[in-house]
């Protein structure tokens, strides 16, 4: 597997995962990036982003997400109906579909993303964000740990919860392969009241909605760049490395960054990783049938 290389003036950084382009298709607008997209059906939006990083071109609609109760609402694919869902903010409204694809497959004439998601180690994301200068997120969301980790990577203030989220995410990462843990977690999160209580706990102590809200909704609405530690769902369903962070960058900002950035290689876009993810998805489906 050949890695990506980010060259920022005299600094060269080796990235471990391929960036993902995200194209938003609000209801009522004729937005289509072309053919060759597979209708996604899986546990969570973060899983779709991980699969797109491995080379898949995915179309995400209202019925695509089968497990996560957070993502469909904040992405605007589902109307907020109960107390738990109405408390999820900020969020899109009336989104018809979302396209996720490997950024290397973009076409300046027919396929330009609205934003780019990068999932990698904090040191790489910190270096990229320092090059963005005034492009980073500002305002209250930038200093809430559940929505952003900017204060951590810029060392603007001590964030004791950073250590706690690392420990918690490592625990989730090691337990997610155990069948009893998956069954227990998925059963508990079927209930909106249970999700409401769990979300209150996450928002107070951990990162929350890291890929769907923090790396997609907030960067798109604010037209800024934001980064976040992974939430438990992004570890549990998305299979992300707990040592990494996730970042969302509006496409205009990313293009500006590319003036100082040279991207080469194939990153995570390897047949072996893609086939492994597909096998994991099929195995989860067989377990549900049992």
Q: What is the pLDDT of residues 52-102, one digit of tens each?
A: 999 999 999 999 999 999 999 999 999 999 898 999 999 999 999 999 999
Q: What is the mean pLDDT of the chain?
A: 80
Residue 217 in this model has a pLDDT that exceeds 90: yes
3-state SS, residue 152: helix
Query: Residue 21: its pLDDT value, please?
Result: 94
Q: Where do the DSSP E strands lie in the chain?
A: 4-8, 11-15, 20-26, 38-39, 58-60, 95-102, 115-120, 225-229, 245-250, 263-264
User: Tokens 């492009």 sit at which residue?
Assistant: 135
Indicate the pairing of strand 225-229 with strand 38-39. unpaired
Q: What is the pLDDT of residues 12-53, one digit of tens each?
A: 556 788 899 999 988 766 566 566 789 999 999 999 999 999
Q: How would you class 62 by CB atoms within 10 Å of its CB: exposed for 0-12, middle for 13-18, buried for 19 or more?
A: middle
Backbone angles phi, psi at 12, to 5 degrees: -115, 125
Q: How would you class 268 by CB atoms within 10 Å of its CB: exposed for 0-12, middle for 13-18, buried for 19 or more?
A: buried
Residue 81: CB atoms within 10 Å: 10
Confidence (pTM): 0.83
């Amino acid at each position: 597997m050949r890695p990506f290389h980010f060259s920022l003036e005299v600094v060269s950084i080796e990235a471990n995962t391929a960036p993902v382009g995200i194209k938003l298709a609000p209801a009522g607008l004729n937005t289509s990036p072309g053919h060759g997209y597979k209708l996604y059906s899986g546990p969570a939006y973060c899983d779709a982003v991980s699969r797109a990083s491995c080379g898949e071109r995915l179309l995400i609609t209202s019925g695509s997400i089968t497990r996560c109760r957070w993502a469909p609402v904040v992405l605007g694919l589902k109307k907020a109906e109960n107390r738990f869902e109405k408390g999820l903010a900020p969020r899109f409204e009336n989104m018809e579909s979302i396209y996720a694809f490997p950024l290397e497959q973009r076409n300046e004439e027919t396929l330009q993303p609205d934003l780019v998601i990068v999932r990698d180690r904090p040191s790489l994301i910190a270096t990229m964000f320092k090059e963005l200068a005034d492009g980073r997120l500002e305002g209250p969301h930038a200093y809430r740990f559940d929505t952003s980790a900017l204060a951590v990577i810029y060392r603007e203030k001590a964030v004791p919860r950073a250590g706690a989220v690392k420990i918690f995410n490592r625990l989730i990462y090691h337990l997610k392969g155990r069948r009893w843990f998956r069954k227990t977690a998925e059963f508990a999160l079927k209930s909106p009241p249970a999700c409401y209580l769990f979300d209150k706990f996450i928002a107070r102590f951990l990162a929350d909605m890291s890929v769907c809200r923090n790396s997609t909704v907030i960067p798109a609405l604010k037209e800024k760049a934001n980064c976040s530690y992974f939430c438990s769902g992004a570890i549990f369903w998305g299979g992300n490395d707990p040592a990494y962070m996730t970042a969302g960058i509006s496409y205009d900002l990313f293009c500006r960054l590319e003036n100082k950035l040279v991207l080469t290689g194939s990153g995570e876009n390897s047949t072996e990783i893609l086939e492994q993810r597909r096998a994991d998805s099929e195995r989860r489906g067989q377990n549900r049938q049992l």
